Amino acid sequence: MTKPSILTVDDDIDVLRGVERDLRKKYGSEYRILRAESGEQALEALRKLKLRNDPVALMVVDQRMPNMDGVTFLSHAMAIYPGARRTLLTAYADTNAAIAAINEVKIDHYLLKPWDPPEQFLYPVLDELLEEWRATYRPPFEGLRILGHRWSPQTHALKDFLGRNHIPYEWLDVEATERDSETARVVDALGALDELPVVLCADGTRLNAPTLEQVAEKVGLKTQAGTSLYDLVIVGGGPAGLAGAVYGASEGLKTLLLDREGPGGQAGMSSRIENYLGFHSGISGGELTRRAVIQATRLGAEILAPQEVVGLRAEGNYRILKLRDGSEITTYAVLISTGLAWRTLDVPGVARLTGAGVYYGAAMTEALSCRDEEVFVIGGANSAGQGAMHFSKFARHVTMLVRGESLAATMSQYLIDQIAATPNISVRTHSEVSEVLGESQLEQVTISNRQTSEQETVPARALFIFIGAMPCTNWLRGVVPMDKQGYILAGPDLMVDGKRPAGWMPDRDPFLLETGMPGVFVAGDTRAGSIKRVASSVGEGSITVAMVHQYLSKVR
């Protein structure tokens, strides 16, 4: 943790050096000793410390300085670091000014110059002040801080990306400066806010409206492959992909996993998975993902995110993956586990307000912002139920809008029972959203009754949509066979009347999870006919590695 700072300010360089010397001698092992030759220079130093979120414990300031005297400086410094203790250095003739300053800027003490010997006249006073400061000090957050608008889609995308990749951050709402004094002090230290969101880094640097790639580079996420040739490249970091990475790496395959956002997929954003084998109390999707990522990397798998694959082709025994940035990765075998994307809701206002009160999936990063607000959830499957249960911990009330007559046909009974027992969740059946309203943010939703055609417009601050999903396979159209919905065909599903698929070259039938391109496999929700469960995806991802071994034994 960064040492708290003691700042001394004096325009007399000899006095400044003397104060610094005595402070360093006594307090240098526990505190950073900083000095400034003017009030202006000292204020600039404090602003930089504030942007780094570094603590300041004590300021020792001379009263007689040109342009800005000590009292004036301290009045400005209080706005930046109100908790720091304040001591004024004065000559005998300035005693009355010092006493007045106790009331004016609430200085904690004043010291007459000279203070020799410091053991008698300086250290006892500062020891007491520092002890008082430590008694009330709470260590600041030391990770990234994001300053932005709650209703900004760019800010939401950034928070979601950091959440998916388990990067700790502190959220500062620029619109909350009136009720959040710390945010107000950060905004003041930043000055002009031309571009939002702003990412404040622990080293004092700032990123204005950064891309996800820029943030990934700053926090040390890998985005570039470590070598030119792999045994197995996995596209998609959901449960199937992570299982493939764990088993591939553990069995000696040079394994690379690519994900366009961050590992976990839809399962990774689940607030609670209650029925995964071995976790009797349930586990969040984020925690399950975190453990899997640690396991895969410990065993030797590389994970790159954000990194999106946009193309695939075969060149002899090699499979070439083209990335969005134009680069390519060569491998012998590929596992496609790109999972599903939420189906969009095609009603007026949704597209315009997505990321500004309208969200797809659980949007775990927005839960805290929904405290004491009206939240609506569209959908009746397990994902919607898990989301509603999570939001109920923060929202004043959660309303689930379900098109059918009940939850029984689409949701597990344990979730139905939990929802029924939660007083601030209500379920409206035969209901759907026909319009969302608001200028720059969600303000209202219009709910239609499918039986009576009656409509009702009600206030809303957040709308979370869980209305089914589509496979993320557009980038593979024309490359591997798919069904009409875009799910990838594999193994027996490729065989027609006992015949192998057109263009199939190997003298064997496709392996169980092998696609129409030899050496390219599919697992998880992307596969046609898959069972949409975390456990089945993990199973498919793991058994694919056995087939990869069989394939590699023939081509390597």
Any idea which fold 350-467 has? Answer: FAD/NAD(P)-binding domain (3.50.50)
User: What average pLDDT score do residues 209-235 get?
Assistant: 93
Class of domain 5-136: alpha beta
User: What average pLDDT score do residues 32-43 get?
Assistant: 96
Q: In what order do the strands lie in the sheet with 198-200?
A: 169-173, 144-148, 198-200, 206-208
Residue 322 has pLDDT above 90, yes or no: yes
Residue 344 has pLDDT above 80, yes or no: yes
Any idea which fold 144-213 has? Answer: Glutaredoxin (3.40.30)
In the structure, what pLDDT confidence band is assigned to residue 439 with cuts at 50, 70 and 90?
A: very high
Residue 100 has pLDDT above 70, yes or no: no
pLDDT of residue 93: 60
Q: What digits encode the pLDDT tens for the residues 229-257?
A: 999 999 999 999 999 999 999 999 999 99
Name which residue leads in pLDDT, 510 or 92. Answer: 510
Q: DSSP characters for 181-196?
A: HHHHHHHHHH----SS
pLDDT > 90: what percent of the chain? Answer: 74
Residue 181 has pLDDT above 90, yes or no: no
pLDDT of residue 200: 93
Separation of alpha carbons 178 and 180, rounded Å: 6
Answer whether 5-136 and 229-341+471-555 agree in fold: no
Judged by average pLDDT, the poorest of 20-24, 154-158, 175-179, 483-487 is 175-179
Other C-beta atoms closer than 10 Å to the C-beta of 223 total 15
pLDDT of residue 1: 64
pLDDT of residue 240: 98
For residue 322, what are the contacts with CB-CB under 8 A and spacing of at least 6?
309, 310, 311, 312, 313, 328
HSE-CB at 188 with a 13 A cutoff on CA atoms is 19
pLDDT of residue 114: 81
Residue count (the chain): 556
pLDDT of residue 421: 97
User: What average pLDDT score do residues 483-491 get?
Assistant: 97
- The encoded tokens of residue 54 equal 């570094």
pLDDT of residue 138: 84
Q: Where are the alpha helices (DSSP H) in 276-391?
A: 285-298, 350-353, 382-391
Check: CB of residue 296 under 8 Å from CB of residue 245: yes
Give burial (CB, 10 Å; 0-12/13-18/19+) of 507: exposed
Residue 154 has pLDDT above 90, yes or no: yes
Alpha-carbon distance values, 408 to 377, 412, 466 (Å): 17, 7, 16
Q: What digits encode the pLDDT tens for the residues 349-388?
A: 999 999 999 999 877 788 888 999 999 999 999 999 999 9
pLDDT of residue 378: 97
pLDDT > 70: what percent of the chain? Answer: 98
Name which residue leads in pLDDT, 400 or 181. Answer: 400
Residue 47 has pLDDT above 80, yes or no: yes
pLDDT, mean over the chain: 92
pLDDT of residue 189: 87
Q: What digits encode the pLDDT tens for the residues 287-308?
A: 999 999 999 999 999 999 999 9
* 229: helix, strand or coil: strand
What are the domain boundaries of the chain?
5-136, 144-213, 229-341+471-555, 350-467
pLDDT of residue 228: 87
pLDDT of residue 311: 97
Domain made up of 229-341+471-555: CATH architecture: 3-Layer(bba) Sandwich (3.50)
In the structure, what pLDDT confidence band is assigned to residue 97 with cuts at 50, 70 and 90?
A: low
Nearest alpha-carbon partner for 239 in 208, 271, 196, 276: 276
Check: CB of residue 57 under 8 Å from CB of residue 42: no
User: What average pLDDT score do residues 145-149 get?
Assistant: 92
Name which residue leads in pLDDT, 66 or 194. Answer: 66
